[in-house]
Amino acid sequence: MLKPMPASFDYRPPLEPHLTIIYEDADLVVLDKPSGLLSVPGNHPHLQDSLKTRVQQRFPEAEMVHRLDMDTSGILVMARNKPALARTGMQFEKRTTEKQYIARVWGNFLNDSGLVDLPLATDWENKPRQRVDYERGRASQTEWLVLEREAAATRVALKPLTGRTHQLRVHMMEIGHVILGDVFYAEGEPLAAAPRLQLHAERLSFLHPTTGEVLDFHIPAPF
């Protein structure tokens, strides 16, 4: 059984680098979010530091197009005006963006690639955790590709075909390969095997909301 979610936690977001911008123009700001930083502020005063609040110190008009989990690092996009927000957000909603994540997971895969197709729903007794739910869950698919086999772990590329909360984390756990350092879903050796969640949003491709140009960003995983 999963461990219950603590009522509060010791939030210590990384202070350096304070903000890493990899692209900016009149419509967009593309960022490299560090692990341990919230995408948006939480409800409590000690949860106000976030990527959004840091960006808005420089670009007050900027709004989130999408989010990454606090413990996930990598590419995140914000829009600097309403038309850009609507046009870019629609690409995420219609799943026309191209995303790839890198993860280190527990154990070794027998095959070199595959597809996880398991419906997900909120685990209400253990929020914000998610769980497989064949009755109430929303359709969720993840493609995976083995990149490197280690002694007790595997480095994989993950391509989410849908965008559910904790999708990659739950899908990897359900097929027996929990992501290393995952405080929500890993226990014992897999949890202790890494100092942070070994999940990184490595690549993101989408159309510029004004010019229609293909934007393709890539940030190698820091692990």
Are the C-beta atoms of 121 and 130 separated by less than 8 Å?
A: yes
pLDDT digits (tens, 9 = 90+) for 66-105: 999 999 999 999 999 999 999 999 999 999 999 999 999 9
- Return d(Cα 138, Cα 122) in angstroms, integer: 10
Name the β-bridge partners of 207: 214
Could you give all domains of the chain from N- to C-terminal order, each with its CATH number?
21-218 (3.30.2350.10)
- The SS3 call for residue 57 is helix
Q: Which residues are catalytic?
A: 69
Residue 5 pLDDT > 50: no
> Binning pLDDT at 50, 70 and 90, where does residue 195 land?
very high
Q: Which tens digit of pLDDT belongs to each residue from 16-63?
A: 999 999 999 999 999 999 999 999 999 999 999 999 999 999 999 999
Q: What is the C-alpha to C-alpha distance for residues 14 and 157, in angstroms, rounded to an integer? A: 26
Residues 6+ apart with CB under 8 A from 123: 2, 129, 130, 131
pLDDT of residue 175: 98
